[in-house]
Each structure stands twice: as structure tokens, then as C-alpha cells.
Amino acid sequence: MLLLHVSDTHLGADKPRRHGRVRERELDFYDVFDEVIDIAIKEGVDAVIHCGDFFNKAEPSPQTYYYAFKSLRRLRDSGIPFLVIAGQHDQPKTATLSPLKLFDEVGLARTLAIANASTSVIKLRSGELGVTAIPYTHPQLINDVVKMLRKPESGKRILMAHLLLKELGIPNAHISLSELGVMDYAYVALGDYHLRYEVNYGGTPVVYPGSTEALDVLEASDERYVVLVDLSGSEARVNWIKLNSFRRWVVLNDVRSYSQLIKSLDKIWYSMPGKPPMLHIRVSKDLPSGDSKLINDYLDSLVRSNKILFYRIEVPGVIEEESSGTYEEVSYVPTLELVVHNVVGDKDLAEVLLGIIKGCDDVGFVNLMINRLVSDVSLLSRLERLIKK
Ligand SMILES: [Mn+2]
């Protein structure tokens, strides 16, 4: 029996959000989820198990539904069930429906746990799978929930949960491995922690695959994964599968000068796989004063030529946002109208010029626009000024 374990896909997220590139960033999350589906189909798994934060928020946009639906339909058409539990991001804040329920209703997912833990035995292609499922639960309540859990009565047993283990050594952790009682299970599939983590507890593999995209530079990693779990033998076997289509971060620490930055980046371009990366640089306190502007201008040019998606400069003590003037105003798909308006910077003049450009196969219309220009002295002198610039 083969399972593909994935978590924290955060569909609909566009983090970190940057001027003008929000849509491209959002598409990254859909791309990588689609790659996960490709892997599931290629490996011929019995089921995909998703450990929560499938969506980034409990009210996904139509676009998010569209991409989620498309990917999950491919999985269903290959006869592979999708088993999912809710993370805090999938749980509605009020007593309304979780978006995951919708996928249950149309037969694209089997939601095992949204607000309450559950135990079920699921018939899969190569046998029965017993699943104990714990959705996101407040850390103060988790021990009570765990005490009430029943083990599944038949099949290979796994535990799926969206929680933070105390063993991770981070604040707001939920529970420790011994409190969770993981030894009753052949495999423990976890979600909530966005980086890869694996520990073996008394023979039971306990695994966080990590999120499929980094939502922040602090989660940046050169590699991101899904986990192929083989439950055929008496012990679970864990295989880490590297994802390819996520967007990389380039993080440069202690940048001391403009020329040093250029040199470091030149080296990086050679080895950079995949999409244009996101760039985060931390400049040194003693950066020469003129270099700051040079760096900004250079990074702006990298954004414009699509060598990077965006950049962020961290100055000691402050986080400085990427601030490229042109990109703040140009929307994701720069239309002819936007480009002309941006270049001309004068609304009336832009309209006349657009009329001429767009009407170029309609001589009458072009003449009309030229007449408007010639008959309005101020408009004509504004055009002269623009040309001289
Ligand atoms: Mn998450």
C-alpha cells in the first residue's frame, strides 16, 4: 500500500505579497500542487493524504476553487482518493461551512476531520487503511482530544494530525510525541510545520513534509518535498520526493557593497533552477551611502527584465519594502492602455495617442485624433514637452 503525504499547500496564498506581482505569486501555489498530483499519478499511489491548510483561507476565491478543482479532478480521474483534514486556515471562523466540505460533496475529496477528531476505516485499492484524524485544535484542548481518541479497528493504521510537536522546540507547540501515543500507528502524518522534519519514535516514522511553497523568507529552503509512504511491509518505509516547480528564494547575508552584490548574484544565476527567484538581501551597517541607490536601481532592473520576481532589502533594524516605482503602478498584465498612460503621464494626451495607435487601420478615426491634437494648443505643447523629455 502506497500513500503520498502532502501538507500545507495554502492554495490561494500570494505571500509574500509584492507590488504588481501578486498574481504570479498566487499561481506558484497552484503550480506546485499540480506537480504533487502528477507525482501521485506517476507513482500509482493508493491515496493522497493531506494534513491540513489545503486552502490559505476559509473563503477561497473562485480562482482558487478553479485550480483546486482542476487538480483534484485529475486525481479522481486516475482513481486515487484524496484524504484531507482541516488546518486552522481551512476552518471557518464562525459556524459556517469549511470549503473542504464542498469537495466532499462533488466527490473530489474525503474530508476526515474539520472541527473534531475522527476515526475511520477506508477501503483503498490494496486493502483497508485505518485512519485517526485530528484537525487543528487549540493547544489548550489538544490533550483532552487525544485522550478521547479511538484507534481504528482494522487495516494498516495511520495517524493524520495538524499540530505542532513540542519536539520542534518552537513556541505555541501542542503536544509531545509521548502524549500523542504515536506507537499505536504504522505512520504518523503531520501538517502545520512548514519545513521538512522526520523523527522515528519507537519504530514509527513521524513526518512533516513541510509546506509546498515558502510563505516567508524564514521558511525558505532550497528543497521542498512530498513523502511517499510504503505500508506494504511490517514497517512503514519513507521516501522523500523532491518537488521541482516551487519558486526559490535567493538570500544574501551581509551585503557590503554594490559591486559585491553584483558578483554574488552573477555566480547564482548559473545554478538557479526553475522560475525567476525571489530575492532577499541583508545589507551590512557600513554600506557606502551611494551604494544603496545603485543597489535599488540594479534590483529594479532585474525585476523589469524578469530575472527575479521581486526583491526585499533588509537594513539592520528595519525591513525595507521593495519599492520600484513602475511596478507599483503597472498591474500584473500590463495592457497597452496602462503602458501608454504610464509612459505619457498625461491623461488627455494618452487618450489621443491611444486613439491614434489603436485606430491605425481606420484613417477617419486617426484624422479625428490628429485634428484634436492640432486644434488644442495646450495639448500640442504638452506633446512637444513629452518628446523633448
Ligand atoms: Mn500552514
Instruction: Convert the pLDDT of each residue in 311-363 to its tens digit.
Output: 999 887 765 555 443 333 233 445 677 778 888 888 888 888 887 887 766 67
Report the separation in Å between the CA atom of 207 and the middle of ligand 1, taken as the mean of its atom positions.
15
The model's pLDDT over 194-234, given as tens digits with 9 standing for 90+, comes to 999 999 999 999 999 999 999 999 999 999 999 999 999 98
Residue 328 is predicted with a pLDDT of 32
Report the separation in Å between the CA atom of 212 and the middle of ligand 1, taken as the mean of its atom positions.
10
Report the separation in Å between the CA atom of 356 and the middle of ligand 1, taken as the mean of its atom positions.
51
Report the separation in Å between the CA atom of 121 and the middle of ligand 1, taken as the mean of its atom positions.
26
Total-model pTM: 0.80
Over residues 77-100, mean pLDDT: 92
Report the separation in Å between the CA atom of 120 and the middle of ligand 1, taken as the mean of its atom positions.
24
User: For residue 326, which phi and psi values (nearest 5 degrees)?
Assistant: -65, -40
Give the residue among 128, 119, 109, 142 at the shortest CA–CA distance from 6: 109
**Where do the domains of the chain lie, and which CATH numbers do they carry?**
2-242 (3.60.21.10), 252-326 (no CATH), 335-388 (no CATH)
Please report where in the chains the cell 495511520 appears, as a residue: 158
- Whether the CA torsion 90, 94, 99, 105 is positive or negative: it is positive
**43 to each of 72, 109, 211, how far by Cα in Å?**
16, 19, 20
The secondary structure element, H or E, covering residue 92 is none
Report the separation in Å between the CA atom of 311 and the middle of ligand 1, taken as the mean of its atom positions.
23
Give the residue among 39, 63, 54, 145 at the shortest CA–CA distance from 108: 54
Percentage of the chain beyond pLDDT 90 is 69
**Greatest Cα-to-Cα distance within the chain, rounded to the nearest angstrom:** 88
- Kindly report which listed range (89-98, 317-326, 362-371) carries the lowest average pLDDT score: 317-326
Residue 168 is predicted with a pLDDT of 96
Over residues 105-120, mean pLDDT: 95
Report the separation in Å between the CA atom of 364 and the middle of ligand 1, taken as the mean of its atom positions.
59
Report the separation in Å between the CA atom of 324 and the middle of ligand 1, taken as the mean of its atom positions.
30
